[in-house]
Amino acid sequence: MAERNGYGGGSMLERSPGVWRLRVMGTDAAGRPTRIDRTFRGSKTVARAELSRLATAAKAGTESGPSATFSELLDAWLDMVEPARRPRTMAEHRREVETRIRPRLGQAKLSKLTAHDLDTAYRTWRSEGLSDSSIRRHHAVISAALTQGVKWGWIASNPAQRSSAPPQRRIELTPPSPGQLELLYRLALDTDPVMAVAVALAALTGARRGELVALRWSDIDLDVGLVHIRRSLTETDHEVHEGPTKTHQIRHVALDPRAVGILAGHQQWQLDLSDRADSPVVDDPFVLSYNANGATHVKPDRITNQFVGLCRRAARQTGEPFRFRFHDLRHFAATQLVAAGVDIKSVSGRLGHATATMTLDRYAHALTAQDRVAAVVLGRMLPNPQDTILDPAT
C-alpha cells in the first residue's frame, strides 16, 4: 500500500516495497522555483533521512532538477500526468518506460542527454525488431517527459525535438463494404442479438468500442432519434474503468429510422429476456448487456474477440477474406459519410475527433468519389466536344 508523508519540507511515496519517490521544491540556477524528484531505495527511516538532506540542499540551491537523471524525470512526469490520463493509457506509458526507455536511457544525466543519444536508442530498438510505430510511441513519451523537464527548469531544451524518430507512414484503411457489413450484421443477429446491435451501432454512429459498451438506455432518445455519447469504458489488466470520452466532450449523434428500429427491437428483446428470467431490469440498464436485468455491461475485449469470430464465420461462408477489426466499423461510418459528400466538420463532430483537420487527414482517400462528382459538375460548364464541329480552316 502506497504511503504519503511530508518530512523536512518535502514528501515521500513508497511506490513499491523499499522503493521511494522523494519530492522537494528547490531553485534552479536563476533562482526560479523548481520541483526535484528522486527515486530512493532503502528503508523508510533511511529514505526519510535522505528526504531531509535533499530538502536542505534544495533550500541552499545546491541540489536542483538539472542534476537529475532521465529516469528521475520519467518518474516525476508519470506522477504528474497520471490523474489526467486513462488507466489504460497510463499502463501503456509505464510498460514502455520500464521495458525499453528506462533500461536504455534512464541513467543518462539530463544535462548531458543529446539528440544523438536518442537517435542511437531508436536505431538500437529497430535492430532489435521493434516496429517504427512502437518507436514513435516511445519517442512521444520521451519527448513529453523532456518537454515537462524544460518547463520545470530541469533541462535547458528538449533534445527529442532535434532527434529523428521514424516518420509517420499513412496506413491504408480497409473498412468492410456495405455488403460485407450487412452479412456480418445478419450472422450476428442469428446467434447473438447483443453483438448484432454492437455491429449496427458502430457502423451507424461511428462510435468507439469503449463508448458503445458504456451506453445506458438513458443515453438514447428513441422518440427524437438521438444518442448521447457521454462516457467511455476502458479495460486494463482485466479491470474495467469508466471515464469521459477520448476528447473529454459529450456529443449528440442523430439516429435514422432504421437505427431507431434496431434499438427499439433490442430494448424489447431485453425486456422479454428479463421477464423470462424473472429478473427485473435495473433503473438504468446498459444497452449492451448479456445480463437479464441489464446491470452489467459487455466488457470491451469481449466485443473485440466476438467480432473476430464473426469475421471467421463470414469468411467460411463466402470463401472471401474478412480481415476486419471491430474498429474498422468506425472507419466504415467515416469513409461512407465522406464519400457521400457530408461536410468534414459534421463527420468530425459525429466521430468525436478533436479537430476537423484530423478527420480530413485520416479519411482524405474517401474524397475520391466526391472529386469525380466535382469533375462532372465542372465539365458541364463546357460544351460536349461531340456537339462542337471545328472547321480545320478556321
DSSP state of 383: -
Q: What separation in angstroms does the CA of 207 have from each of 199, 201, 235, 243, 271?
A: 11, 7, 17, 15, 25
pLDDT digits 0-9 by tens, 231-269: 999 877 777 788 888 888 999 999 999 999 999 999 999
CATH classification (class only), 178-339: mainly alpha
- In this prediction, residue 170 carries a pLDDT of 67
Q: Which three cell numbers stand for residue 59?
A: 533550500
69 three-class SS: strand
* Domain boundaries, given as residue ranges, for the chain: 1-67, 69-169, 178-339
Q: Which three cell numbers stand for residue 214?
A: 458504456
The pLDDT of 330-354, averaged and rounded, is 90
Greatest pairwise CA separation for the chain in angstroms: 105
The pLDDT confidence band at residue 390, using thresholds 50, 70 and 90, is: very low
Q: Nearest Cα to 216, choosing from 294, 156, 154?
A: 294
Q: Is the pLDDT confidence value at 5 over 50?
A: no
- In this prediction, residue 63 carries a pLDDT of 53
Q: Is the pLDDT confidence value at 372 over 70?
A: no
The pLDDT confidence band at residue 389, using thresholds 50, 70 and 90, is: very low
Q: Are 42 and 20 in contact (CB under 8 A)?
A: yes
Cα–Cα distance for residue pair 286/300, rounded to 1 Å: 13
pLDDT digits 0-9 by tens, 67-119: 688 998 998 899 889 888 888 889 899 999 999 999 999 999 988 899 999 99
pLDDT digits 0-9 by tens, 201-216: 999 999 999 999 999 9
Angle at 156 between CA 152 and CA 157, to 5 degrees: 100
69-169 and 178-339 in the same fold: no
Positive or negative torsion for Cα 142, 146, 149, 151: negative
Q: Nearest Cα to 36, choosing from 58, 14, 59?
A: 58
User: Which residues fall within 8 angstroms of residue 231, CB to CB, at 6 or more apart?
Assistant: 211, 214, 242, 243, 244, 245
pLDDT digits 0-9 by tens, 177-193: 999 999 999 999 999 99
Q: Nearest Cα to 369, choosing from 329, 336, 333?
A: 336
pLDDT digits 0-9 by tens, 47-79: 888 788 777 767 665 555 546 889 989 988 998
The pLDDT of 7-11, averaged and rounded, is 63
Fold annotation for 69-169: DNA polymerase; domain 1 (1.10.150)
The pLDDT confidence band at residue 276, using thresholds 50, 70 and 90, is: very high
Question: Rounded to two decimals, what is the model's pTM?
Answer: 0.66
Q: Is the pLDDT confidence value at 229 over 80?
A: yes
